[in-house]
Structure 1
Amino acid sequence: MAAIRDAVGPDVDIIAEMHAFTDTTSAIQFGRMIEELGIFYYEEPVMPLNPAQMKQVADKVNIPLAAGERIYWRWGYRPFLENGSLSVIQPDICTCGGITEVKKICDMAHVYDKTVQIHVCGGPISTAVALHMETVIPNFVIHELHRYALLEPNTQTCKYNYLPKNGMYEVPELPGIGQELTEETMKKSPTITVK
C-alpha cells in the first residue's frame, strides 16, 4: 500500500478492499498499518453480516469503513447504520431488490449521515442504472469502475459503454436507464411472444 501511495501521490483516492478475508484482529492490525497512507476507505475489513465485528474495527481503526455488496436489503443495513460502524454503504442494485429498494437504502443512509458508493460489477446495464441512482441521492461519494465491466463479453452486450473521461462519468440522457442491448445480444437470447 505504501508503494502504491508513493507511486500515485497524495491526490489519488486509494480504497483498501479486503473482501472480508481478514478476521477482526487482523483487520484491526492491518488497518492501523495503513492509517497514515490517507486511505479513502477500508472496504469489508470483516464479514459484512456481523455488525458487532465491524463496530470493533471501526472503533480501533482511523479509516472510514465501507461494506454492503453482500448486504441484500434495507433491514440488513439497519444495524450497521445504528451502530455507526460504516461510513460508506455499498448497495448493489442487482442484488438488493432493484432501483426502488436501493433508493430506500440510500435514503436511510442519508438519515444517518453516511455516504453511498453503489456497488457496480455487473457490466454496462448496472453502470447505467448506478449512474442514474448516484445523481438523485445527496450522499453519493464515488462511482465504482470494476474490471469486470471492461471485459469484452460485457462491453459488447450493450450499445453504450460508459467509461470515465478525465476521472468523471457523464450520466446517460437517453430514454429509460440510458442503455440498450445490441442486436447481437438480442439474437443470442430466446424470443417469446406473449399474446
Structure 2
Amino acid sequence: MKITKIDIFCADYDPQAPNEPVFIRIHTDEGICGFGEAGVAYGNSKHAAIGQLRDFASLIIGQNPMQIEKIWNRLQKETFWGLGGGTVIFSAISAIDIALWDIKGKVLRAPVYELLGGKMREEVRAYASQIQFGWDGDAKALVGVDAYAEAAQKAVSQGFTAVKVDPLQRDENGKKNYRNAGLLSSDKLKLCRDRLTAIREAVGESVDIILELHAKSDFCAALQISRLAEDLNILYLEEPFGPLNPDLMAKFKAQTTIPLASGERIYSRYGYRPFLESRSLDVIQPDIANCGGISEAKKICDMAQIYDVLVQTHICGGPISNAAALQIEAVIPNFCIHEYHVGNMTPFSRSLGIYDDAPVQGNIRIPDRPGIGQEIPEEIIQKCTFLTVE
C-alpha cells in the first residue's frame, strides 16, 4: 500500500462559524483514505498550518501509510525545523498522524482504540466547556453575573455534571476583558468572585466547576484568582498563565490548593517532560491535533501516568479532533474528563462530521466504527478552500 495524494482543506466558508478547522485526507492506491486535523482552528495560524501540511505532504507521497512510526520520526527528525517543534510543525505532524491511524484502522477493520490496547471504558464523562458564551448553541458572550448561573443550570439540566468557565474573559458588558498587566483591580476580582459564586450556588456542591484563565493572566493575577476561589471546591484551574516557563508553574503550585491543568499549548513528550518531572500539573491537556497526533498523545499520557497525572484532552476544533481524542480516552487508565466545547454545539460544527458524537446526559459513548470513526461529508469538502498534493 502506498500514499498517492493528500487533500488539504479549510472550512472557511461560513463567516459566522466559531472557527475554521484545517483538515487533510490522505489517499492510498488501494482506495482507502484517512482524515486528519491540524489543531489551529482558532487563533492566527491556519495559513501556516496549511503551508506546513503542503510541505510535509510532498515528503510522504509514495510511503507506506501503515508505517506510522517511521513517517512520524521522519517528519520530526529529517525536516530540519521538526527538531525545534512548535505549534505549526506539530499541528501538521498531528494531522498526518491522525489520518494514518484512520487508514490503519480501516485496513484492519477495527477502531483505533483496539490497536492501542483496547477499551478501558464504554463511555466518557464530558463537561460543558466555556459557559461564558452561554449554552444555547449560538455561542454569544454573556453579560453581568446571573447569566453565568443560568448557563450552568442549563448545562446541568442536560445531564452534565461538570462545567468550565472563564469568569474574566469578558467584562460585565460582554466585551473582551484585558487582564495580563500584573495585579488585577478590585472590581475585576469582585466580578470573578461573583460569577464563580453564582455558578456554585446555582448548581450546588455535587457539580464540578473547572476554572479557566486561558493563560491571559500573569503569575500575580493568577495567584489572586486562585486565592479568591479556594473555598468554592474548584475541580482544577486551567492555564493560570502561559507554559513557556515550566519553573513558574512549579512555584505557583506551591502557593495554591487548587489542582492545576495546562497543555493545549504544550507539544510533544519533550514539552511535557519538565511539567511531569516537577509534578507541577495535576491534569495535562494535550490536544491530539497539535501535540503530535495519536502516536505522540499515547506516549504523553503514558508518561503522565508515572507521576499520577490525569488527562483531559483539549478539544476546540472540528469533529476529527474530537474523534481522535475519543480513541485515546477510551484506552488510557489516567483519563479524567472529556471536553465538549460550546462551539461544538453550533450547526456549523455539527455539520462538519458525518457522525454526531455529542454527549447524551453528560456522557459520550465510544464509537465502534473503524479507524477514528469520523469523516467529513463530501458536500462540506466541496465548500472549503482546497488544494491537493500529488
TM-score (norm 1): 0.94
Aligned to 1:57: 252
> Could you tell me the percent identity over the aligned residues?
53
Q: Deviations over 1:145-183 (max 9, x none)?
A: 112222222211111111111111101111111112113
Aligned to 2:359: 164
Q: How far apart are residue 191 of structure 1 and its match?
A: 7.8
Q: How far apart are residue 36 of structure 1 and its match?
A: 0.8
Aligned to 1:126: 321
Q: How far apart are residue 193 of structure 1 and its match?
A: 9.3
Partner of 1:20, secondary structure, is coil
Letter in 2 for 1:87: D
- Where does the alignment leave 5 or more consecutive residues of structure 1 unmatched? none
- Where does the alignment leave 5 or more consecutive residues of structure 2 unmatched? 1-195
d(CA) in 2 for partners of 1:77 and 1:24?
A: 20
1:1-195 to structure 2, matched below 5 A, reads 1-188=196-383, 190=386
Q: How far apart are residue 9 of structure 1 and its match?
A: 0.7
d(CA) in 1 for partners of 2:220 and 2:383?
A: 49
d(CA) in 2 for partners of 1:119 and 1:22?
A: 20
Q: Deviations over 1:110-136 (max 9, x none)?
A: 111100000011121111111111011
d(CA) in 1 for partners of 2:228 and 2:274?
A: 27
Partner of 1:60, secondary structure, is coil
Letter in 1 for 2:215: A
Aligned residues: 194
Q: How far apart are residue 72 of structure 1 and its match?
A: 1.1
d(CA) in 2 for partners of 1:192 and 1:122?
A: 22
Partner of 1:14, secondary structure, is strand
d(CA) in 2 for partners of 1:177 and 1:186?
A: 18
Letter in 1 for 2:224: Q
TM-score (norm 2): 0.48
Q: Which has the higher contact order (CA 8 A, sep 6+)?
A: 2
Structure 1 runs of 4+ off > 4 angstroms?
189-194
Q: Is the 8 A contact 1:24 1:56 kept in 2?
A: no
Partner of 2:367, secondary structure, is coil
Cα distance change, pair 80–192 in 1 and its aligned pair in 2 (3 A): closer
d(CA) in 1 for partners of 2:352 and 2:289?
A: 17
